[in-house]
Chain A
């Protein structure tokens, strides 16, 4: 019987400092065969840890089409484990297991305009969708990206923004930008209100809990259908397979039935958002 808690070694092959507190790591499994057979979906996550430091769930932020070569995790320093992980260097190894969760059902996005709304570090699981759109792997006729962040220092994936900008309507709104900032200021909701969004759009939102309520209210005003709104939730997790109970919301588990949920299915669950 397979041990579902057994981790595998993955080696860091490159690192990019994304922001003050977040590093982007590219990992390859030490076992080459594992890497060759590795497959995941946008929106799925890995459990990553270090012996003696525990484990935590981190969304995969590379494109599924790169899975046979590597996978990327953007790790934000928010506690002892993530602090330790962020101190690792190229060549170091970490313990991972996964992928877990359901991921985005991109087949349902086909032929609909795609709107991606991310807040703060919630932007991480959205990156694979954007990469795949830019590379023509998900066929939508239009992409709008709304990215709300505190300031320039906390923006993620900055290197890729020019490319994203060429391929989509890309709006960044900063709450507390420096004086040099030329873009939009304030909450992302304000930027959304100002713009036309096709009512047929599929909208994917990931961000801090407070963001959902306001953003979704605006989307509904713009006649987006509840069944076309998707969110990805963050919860405490240990097992990753719907047993330990820490990530439960109403009848569901974020680790197994999520982390991606259609908003329609969870909107009446108290405390879900």
Chain B
């Protein structure tokens, strides 16, 4: 990465922020904190873990209990940059931005976070991903939220884009002036609907009594690993810490495959077998999220398939569901 502009950008970013980026670790590509630019992996491949921890920690304190008073916790939000987020992960990030739009904790953290997208071979990069869950538009950047986007072009030059005022300020600060402003026009095009997304929405919604779910339920272990690595799985539990030293209310990642997910006090448990759980997971991705946010709830990153101990491949499942008459 000898590009001069990129070098100044990286130098600036490492001076000003805690940097999270994909880096090779034991042969695996992992998103984590990196100490210097040389560690960053620029292959554009899918990291094994999602970026969501940067925006939604697996556990965070919402309130501290002061006697019987719940006081909003004054969390400290360090200045962080998420550097090198690929287009599919940006799509997942765009969803999180919508889901947590009125969440004060998410928003405070977000204010101190800069999101830098990256593509290693623009503009064909995203076409290489095996996208099965939605259609990609040609003006892909217009449908994604980010602060800065860096694209490596065919001629090995880099193009810079800004997607927000913060992004602009940052680029100016690092003396990069030939960037293009991208205006976000919504996560899906206004003029044409994402037909693929809508077709899948209908298919999944109507497939509850189809054999496919029985077959999946026979092999799925309900281990929940797919949900942990999924960049769009954002569900959570609230929990009160009984810790006498530091009592309070926390929020932590939930998992719809876990047994207590739907259990109400008194014992009633609507999701009480594997078939219901796995179907619930697909309905969230392919029915609820498109209905609420008009965007796909699965970005086709393939992480869940890689991590599944019994080899359930979401791309194949979706293919089979599309074939159901």
A4–B103 alpha-carbon span in the complex (Å): 7
Binding site for B on A (CB under 8 A): 1-7, 49-56, 76, 78-79, 81-82, 93, 95, 208-209, 234-236, 238-239, 242-246, 248-251, 269-271
Chain A neighbourhood of B288, CB < 8 A: 248, 251
Contact across chains for A6 and B264 when beta carbons are under 8 A apart = no
Chain B neighbourhood of A76, CB < 8 A: 266
Min CB–CB distance A242 → chain B (angstroms): 7
Contact across chains for B265 and A79 when beta carbons are under 8 A apart = yes
Contact across chains for A238 and B100 when beta carbons are under 8 A apart = no
Contact across chains for A78 and B266 when beta carbons are under 8 A apart = yes
Contact across chains for A248 and B68 when beta carbons are under 8 A apart = no
With A3-B72, A56-B265 known to touch, is A238 a contact of B63 (CB < 8 Å)?
Answer: no
A2–B69 alpha-carbon span in the complex (Å): 18
Residue in contact with B254 in the complex, picked from A2, A95, A245, CB distance below 8 Å: A245
Chain A neighbourhood of B67, CB < 8 A: 51
Contact across chains for A5 and B236 when beta carbons are under 8 A apart = no
Contact across chains for B235 and A270 when beta carbons are under 8 A apart = no
Question: Chain B contact residues: over half helix, strand or loop, or mixed?
Answer: mixed
Binds A, one of B156-164, B170-178, B239-247: B239-247
Could you give 25 example pairs across A and B, Cβ below 8 Å? Answer: A2-B102, A4-B102, A5-B62, A6-B70, A7-B70, A50-B68, A51-B63, A51-B67, A51-B69, A52-B241, A79-B265, A82-B265, A208-B268, A236-B264, A243-B99, A243-B100, A243-B236, A244-B238, A244-B254, A245-B284, A246-B235, A249-B270, A250-B287, A251-B288, A270-B209
Contact across chains for B262 and A51 when beta carbons are under 8 A apart = no
Min CB–CB distance A29 → chain B (angstroms): 15
Contact across chains for A245 and B205 when beta carbons are under 8 A apart = no
Contact across chains for A52 and B104 when beta carbons are under 8 A apart = no
**Given A236-B262, A244-B235, A270-B276; 19 other pairs, CB 8 A cutoff:** A1-B107, A3-B104, A5-B62, A51-B249, A56-B265, A79-B265, A81-B265, A235-B264, A236-B263, A238-B254, A243-B234, A244-B236, A244-B237, A244-B254, A246-B261, A250-B283, A250-B287, A251-B287, A271-B270
Min CB–CB distance B47 → chain A (angstroms): 24
Chain B neighbourhood of A239, CB < 8 A: 236, 238
A-facing residues in B239-295 (Cβ within 8 Å):
239-242, 247-249, 254, 256, 261-266, 268, 270-271, 276, 279-280, 283-284, 287-288, 291-292
Min CB–CB distance B259 → chain A (angstroms): 12
Min CB–CB distance B92 → chain A (angstroms): 16
Chain A neighbourhood of B240, CB < 8 A: 49, 51-54
A180–B24 alpha-carbon span in the complex (Å): 77
A249–B236 alpha-carbon span in the complex (Å): 16
A209–B102 alpha-carbon span in the complex (Å): 33
Whether a CB of chain A sits under 8 angstroms from the CB of B318 is: no
A271–B262 alpha-carbon span in the complex (Å): 12
Contact across chains for A245 and B256 when beta carbons are under 8 A apart = yes
Residue in contact with A245 in the complex, picked from B102, B208, B235, B239, CB distance below 8 Å: B235
With A4-B104, A250-B205, A251-B205 known to touch, is A79 a contact of B237 (CB < 8 Å)?
Answer: no
Contact across chains for B271 and A271 when beta carbons are under 8 A apart = yes
Chain A neighbourhood of B68, CB < 8 A: 50-51, 93, 95
Chain B neighbourhood of A52, CB < 8 A: 65, 240-242, 247
A93–B68 alpha-carbon span in the complex (Å): 9
A79–B240 alpha-carbon span in the complex (Å): 14
Chain B neighbourhood of A6, CB < 8 A: 70, 72
Count, A-B residue pairs, CB within 8 A: 110
With A242-B292, A244-B254, A250-B205 known to touch, is A54 a contact of B239 (CB < 8 Å)?
Answer: yes
A239–B237 alpha-carbon span in the complex (Å): 8
With A245-B284, A246-B235 known to touch, is A1 a contact of B104 (CB < 8 Å)?
Answer: yes
Q: Which of B99, B249, B265 has the most CB of A within 10 A?
A: B265
A196–B236 alpha-carbon span in the complex (Å): 47
Chain B neighbourhood of A7, CB < 8 A: 70
Contact across chains for B70 and A246 when beta carbons are under 8 A apart = no
Chain A neighbourhood of B270, CB < 8 A: 235, 249, 271
Chain A neighbourhood of B262, CB < 8 A: 235-236, 246
A3–B73 alpha-carbon span in the complex (Å): 11
A244–B239 alpha-carbon span in the complex (Å): 13
A249–B248 alpha-carbon span in the complex (Å): 30
Chain A neighbourhood of B241, CB < 8 A: 52
A174–B267 alpha-carbon span in the complex (Å): 22
Contact across chains for B254 and A246 when beta carbons are under 8 A apart = yes
Chain B neighbourhood of A235, CB < 8 A: 262, 264, 270
Chain A neighbourhood of B104, CB < 8 A: 1-4
What is the chain A residue whose CB lies nearest that of B201? A251
A74–B256 alpha-carbon span in the complex (Å): 29
What is the chain A residue whose CB lies nearest that of B238? A238
Contact across chains for B291 and A234 when beta carbons are under 8 A apart = no
What is the chain A residue whose CB lies nearest that of B107? A1
9 A-B pairs with least C-beta separation: A79-B265, A245-B235, A51-B65, A78-B266, A270-B208, A78-B265, A238-B238, A3-B104, A54-B240
What is the chain A residue whose CB lies nearest that of B260? A236
Chain A neighbourhood of B279, CB < 8 A: 270
Q: Which of A55, A95, A208, A236 has the most CB of B within 10 A?
A: A236
What is the chain A residue whose CB lies nearest that of B68? A51
A269–B247 alpha-carbon span in the complex (Å): 40
